């Protein structure tokens, strides 16, 4: 199989970072990853198994304080950034300058257009380098960009909501069968882990349990990704995310009008043709629809649809695990493509 890849995960204590570490620890082509803490305190997070006891009993997984010297000493070749957007924006240029390759799970490098990137309010110390890397970064949605991910130095892992919506709409956008003038609406719902590990007033149990709430209306950070990847105009698309009282999982219900009368087998045909050979997208035969429980703890994105009797109105349903296909699993999928391995290695 050849020498194993040396990786490091910065931010392994977060929900996505933990899932990523867990996947890398069992990947057949990867050496035990270096698990890094952003804290300067050497013993502040001594072992990942202390925070996540599910890892207990395997000898321990020590956390180490981040430093470039440590990465060099350990021979790290690929750095995963499971860090806040601003941190990734600052660290990626230095990592690339030091010869590392980077897969970034934040939103730091996903967006090409300045008006979409403005939601992050980045303040780059070296604007010229940041602009150069913004153009070079590959949007890591394997089902759309697998050929560009191979050999890429910097891959921007997509947002979880964005993944669910883009994968549901891409075949129809490519086929040119959507009546874009009538608009597209995506009503998306996510489990609480999508908000990250740090608790807030809106994500405490008392606020979330037995409740359902909309947020980020007309201003969610993943909106720009959807627009850019599907080449949609702002006026053609409405995206509203909601918080579900469950730990993980996403369900996006997407409403579209077609520009000609179609039959269900035609719609299904577009999806099956587009995703032929794509390991991690499952197209459900109509009238079966995906549910969150079907894709939990997997790297699958499940897509189904119902076509109205008039043959012109279509409802799409797209489900995935926000911490796997929406984050860590997709990051490993991107790593596999970057190094020319099978797309499902370490994810089965």
User: What phi and psi values does residue 137 have, to the nearest 5 degrees?
Assistant: -60, 135
pTM value > 0.75: yes
Question: What gap in Å lies between CA 56 and CA 128, rounded to an integer?
Answer: 45
Confidence of residue 203 (pLDDT cuts 50, 70, 90): confident
Residue 348, pLDDT > 50, answer: yes
- Give residue limits of the domains in the chain: 7-157+327-338, 160-320
* Residues 140-167, mean pLDDT to the nearest whole number: 98
Residue 201: predicted pLDDT: 79
301 annotated active-site? no
Strand 7-10 relative to strand 34-37, pairing: parallel
Q: Domain 7-157+327-338 belongs to what architecture?
A: 3-Layer(aba) Sandwich (3.40)
pLDDT, one tens digit per residue, over 272-289 is: 999 999 999 999 999 999
User: What phi and psi values does residue 154 have, to the nearest 5 degrees?
Assistant: -135, 115
Confidence of residue 168 (pLDDT cuts 50, 70, 90): very high
Residue 91, pLDDT > 70, answer: yes
pLDDT, one tens digit per residue, over 29-58 is: 999 999 998 764 444 557 999 889 988 877
Residue 45: predicted pLDDT: 53
pLDDT, one tens digit per residue, over 4-37 is: 999 999 999 999 999 999 999 999 999 999 999 8
Residue 1: predicted pLDDT: 67
The CATH number for 160-320, chosen from 3.10.129.10, 3.30.360.10, 3.30.565.10, 3.40.50.720, is 3.30.360.10
Residue 309: predicted pLDDT: 97
Q: Which of 119, 330, 339, 91 is nearest to 227 (CA)?
A: 119
Residue 41: predicted pLDDT: 47
Question: What gap in Å lies between CA 199 and CA 196, rounded to an integer?
Answer: 8
Q: Residues 160, 250, 317, 319: which is the catalytic one? A: 160
Q: What is the rounded radius of gyration, in angstroms, for the C-alpha atoms of the chain?
A: 20
* Residues 91-96, mean pLDDT to the nearest whole number: 97
pLDDT, one tens digit per residue, over 287-336 is: 999 999 999 999 999 999 999 999 999 999 999 999 999 999 999 999 99
Both tokens assigned to 211: 């409740």
């Amino acid at each position: 199989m050849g020498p194993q890849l040396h990786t490091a995960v910065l931010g392994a204590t977060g929900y996505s970072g933990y899932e990523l570490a867990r996947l890398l620890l069992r990947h057949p082509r990867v050496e035990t990853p270096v698990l890094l803490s952003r804290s300067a305190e050497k013993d502040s997070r001594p072992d990942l198994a202390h925070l996540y006891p599910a890892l207990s009993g395997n000898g321990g997984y020590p956390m180490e304080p981040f430093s470039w010297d440590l990465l060099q000493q350990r021979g790290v070749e690929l750095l995963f950034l499971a860090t806040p957007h601003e941190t990734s924006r600052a660290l990626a240029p230095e990592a690339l300058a030091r010869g590392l390759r980077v897969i970034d799970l934040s939103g730091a490098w996903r967006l090409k257009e300045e008006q979409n990137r403005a939601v992050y309010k980045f303040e780059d110390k070296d604007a010229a380098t940041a602009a150069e890397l913004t153009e070079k970064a590959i949007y890591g949605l394997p089902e759309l960009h697998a050929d560009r991910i191979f050999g890429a130095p910097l891959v921007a892992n997509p947002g979880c909501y964005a993944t669910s919506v883009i994968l549901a709409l891409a075949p129809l956008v490519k086929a040119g069968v959507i009546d874009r003038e009538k608009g597209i609406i995506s009503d998306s719902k996510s489990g609480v882990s999508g908000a990250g590990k740090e608790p807030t007033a809106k994500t405490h149990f008392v606020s979330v349990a037995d409740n359902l709430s909309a947020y980020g209306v007309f201003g969610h950070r993943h909106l720009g990704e959807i627009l850019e990847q599907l080449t949609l105009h702002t006026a053609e698309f409405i995206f509203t995310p909601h918080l579900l009282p469950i730990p993980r999982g996403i369900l996006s219900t997407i409403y579209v009008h077609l520009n000609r009368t179609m039959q269900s087998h035609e719609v299904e045909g577009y999806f099956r043709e587009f995703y032929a050979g794509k390991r991690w997208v499952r197209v459900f035969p109509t009238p079966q629809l995906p549910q969150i429980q079907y894709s939990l703890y997997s790297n699958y994105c499940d897509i189904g649809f119902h076509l109205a009797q008039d043959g012109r109105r279509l409802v799409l349903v797209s489900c995935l695990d926000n911490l796997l296909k929406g984050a860590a699993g997709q990051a490993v999928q991107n790593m596999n493509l970057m190094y020319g391995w099978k797309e499902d290695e370490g994810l089965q």
